[in-house]
């Protein structure tokens, strides 16, 4: 009889896990293979997403970069100390889902400010 209880308990645990997966994870899993389109964000959401992704890295100067988005094009403005950091920030931004293009208006100290 104890064996039957274990099977019932295991079945309930499996059903609970399946329900959790269906409700929490299924929308991401259900995307059709080969037909998934990049998610489109409104401009404010895309700019916020880019800031969140970039500023996770403690080496990226948070107060030095201004991020805006216009129809999927992300504009990066600010003064950055190292040229390699500018290259890295632009490359990271291009890899973010929803970014169609990046316009780099960042500059080094002493350089003239680029115009958009």
Segment 54-65, tens digit of pLDDT: 999 999 998 899
Quick one: 103 and 47 in the same domain? yes
Is the pLDDT score of 27 beyond 60?
A: no
Quick one: 51 and 89 in the same domain? yes
Quick one: 50 and 31 in the same domain? no
Backbone angles phi, psi at 90, to 5 degrees: -65, -45
CB within 8 A of 86, min separation 6: which ones? Answer: 80, 104, 106, 108
Distance CA 106, CA 79 (A): 6
- Give the per-residue pLDDT at 25: 59
Asked if residue 7 is part of any domain, the answer here is yes
Length of the chain: 116
The domain total for the chain is 2
Backbone angles phi, psi at 102, to 5 degrees: -125, 130
| Average pLDDT, integer, range 54-83 | 93
114: pLDDT confidence band, cut at 50, 70 and 90? confident
Domain span at 93? 43-107
Quick one: 22 and 50 in the same domain? no
């Amino acid at each position: 009889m104890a064996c039957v209880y274990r099977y019932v308990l295991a079945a309930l645990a499996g059903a609970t896990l399946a329900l959790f997966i269906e409700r929490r994870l299924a929308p991401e899993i259900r995307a059709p293979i080969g037909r998934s389109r990049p998610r489109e964000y409104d401009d404010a959401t895309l700019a916020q997403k880019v800031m969140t992704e970039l500023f996770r890295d403690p080496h990226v100067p948070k107060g030095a970069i201004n991020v805006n988005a216009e129809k999927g094009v992300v504009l990066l403005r600010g003064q950055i100390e190292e040229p390699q950091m500018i290259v890295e920030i632009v490359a990271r931004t291009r890899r973010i889902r929803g970014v169609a293009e990046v316009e780099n208006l960042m500059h080094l100290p002493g350089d003239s400010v680029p115009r958009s």
